[in-house]
Amino acid sequence: MTSLVVDEQLLDFLRSKSRDNPVCEVIVNEIETPKDRYRRKDKKHFAGQVNFLGFSQDAPHFISYLTEERLERLSLADRSPWEPDLRMQGKPGKVIRKLFTTEGLKQFRDKDVEQFANLFKSFCDAQSEKYDFELVEGREIVYHYHEDSYSTQFGAVGTLWGSCMRHDRCRFYLDLYEDNVGVVSLLVLFDEDKAVLGRALVWWDVHFKNEIRTVMDRIYTVRDSDVEAFKDYARKQGWVHKAEQNCSSKNTFIDQGEKVYATAVVQLDYSAYDEYPYMDTFTYMDGDNLWNDSAYGSVALESTHGGYEEDTVYDDYNGRTIDRDDAVYCELGDGECHCDDAVYLYYREVSAFPNLCVYSGIEGRDLAREDAVELADGDYAHRENTIYSNVTYDDYHLDQVVWSDYHDDYIPKDEAIELENGEYVHENDEQEALDYYGLNEEDETEDLCKAA
């Protein structure tokens, strides 16, 4: 098998994230210590189907690569493998599944590959300086909590648009954030129109493992990949951040790349209110103190309606009790789920756990993962609306393909060329198709006449 080759920019990314993600770690080991594969007993983990990996220059968030067949064609033509015209590109997760064998993929969990994709997307955006972060406090926190300030650039999706504190009524619950300037701020990620793509509370002067630290709370975003950008921001600032972006893991944090467990407390300047916000992490209040451990608090701030006395049910998805008014029964998942997290599938007319769903951009709707097919461009579509092309070895939405008699198969429209005779062929096979249909004969006759 040819040694694995990646460009320098991609190698920089892999090295920087090898401590955070096992996929990155394994690839870096393969590149930097390939001979150790035999000691590591993973010499059969790389499939050899793709090589010469790099950042796509044409499609943000995609990896470009060469297949064995295209690499051979370039070699025969004595051309560089980094020339763009024959390079292919794919979604990070899909390229990883092509890079490793079935046996090799067993060393990773599905969430490892998903995290790799999100880390990659976040790194791409950071390199292109697309991130616009701002810390706000006081009344600005209340403003940026409201859904009217949210970005719709990628749709009303993600955990941000699922937040139960985004509504009009909730602004009356947020006085605690507004009044405690210097105790709590809000880190906001904006799009180019200054609409909110993500937010996370930042608590200052937290008593954390016998130190005074800054702690970033749960991250809410429109896009999953932007969660990694928040984590990178916290790491660069030297902050601690919440390890799991949910309301159940209250005592698990990341401190400079290391997972730590801690009981932490925030002391408020003002704490006496008639109504309170729902608290993801510092949930338990005792006087002026907010704790992340129920053993230290006399009141649990877990109501989405401003109070703290409530009828509760068990949230099977998050593994904790929640207000019954906030619970949704999910047929797909067979359990109760918080309304912030539950996904309603209109085409099935059922609710579902979010980890069992994907969003289809081309169809503009959420889909059950079991009904969805990942397309060549990284989007998803319902399997009834997709077609597999044996020409490109990828799946496409029916609106993305055209029939080719030459290939006797469907090919993607954006890679198709219409010949003079009305036939469609893949752009990489244009010359062969012209010869096949005899469309080069006139040019050849002209060349012979000129030669004579």
3-state secondary structure at position 201: strand
Predicted local confidence at residue 38, as pLDDT? 47
- Only one residue has tokens 């300037």, namely 181
Give the separation between CA 260 and CA 325, rounded to whole angstroms.
33
For residue 422, the SS3 value is coil
Question: Rounded to an integer, what distance in angstroms lies between the CA atom of residue 102 and that of residue 217?
Answer: 37
- Which of 50-54, 318-322, 436-440, 445-449 holds the top average pLDDT? 50-54
Q: Which residue is it, tokens 């929640």?
A: 322
Measure Cα distances from 350 to 71, 322, 336 in Å: 47, 21, 13
The residue behind tokens 């904006």 is 190
Q: What does the pLDDT read at residue 49?
A: 83
241-269 average pLDDT score: 93
What are the C-alpha distances in Å from 36 to residues 15, 30, 40, 354?
18, 8, 6, 40
Residues in the chain: 452
Among 133, 135, 151, 158, which Cα is nearest to 221's? Answer: 158
Helical ranges in 43-138 per DSSP H: 68-76, 92-99, 102-105, 110-127
* Distance spanning both ends of the chain, measured CA to CA: 50
CA atoms within 13 A on the CB side of 399: 6
Element (H, E) at 365: strand 365-368
For 74-109, the pLDDT digits (tens) are 777 788 888 877 788 888 999 998 899 888 888 898
Compute the Cα dihedral for 102, 105, 107, 108 and give only its sign: negative
Token pair belonging to 385:
């609306």
Q: Please give the pLDDT value at position 1.
A: 52
Query: What pLDDT score does 31 carry?
Result: 86
Q: Are 137 and 145 in contact (CB under 8 A)?
A: no
The pTM for the full model equals 0.59
The HSE-up count of residue 222 (CA atoms within 13 Å, CB side) is 17
What pLDDT, on a 0 to 100 scale, did the predictor assign at position 73? 80
Q: Band the pLDDT of 450: cuts 50, 70, 90.
A: very low
Alpha-carbon span 37 to 54, nearest angstrom: 22
- Note the pLDDT tens digit of each residue in 110-151: 889 988 998 898 888 776 667 789 999 999 999 999 999 999
Identify whether the C-beta of residue 84 lies closer than 8 Å to the C-beta of residue 65: no
Residue 211: which residues within 8 A CB-CB, separation 6 or more? none
Which secondary structure element, helix H or strand E, spans residue 1, and what is its range?
A: none
- Reported confidence tier of residue 312, pLDDT bands at 50, 70, 90: low
How do the residues of the chain divide into helix, strand and coil, expressed in percent and rounded to 5? 35, 30, 35
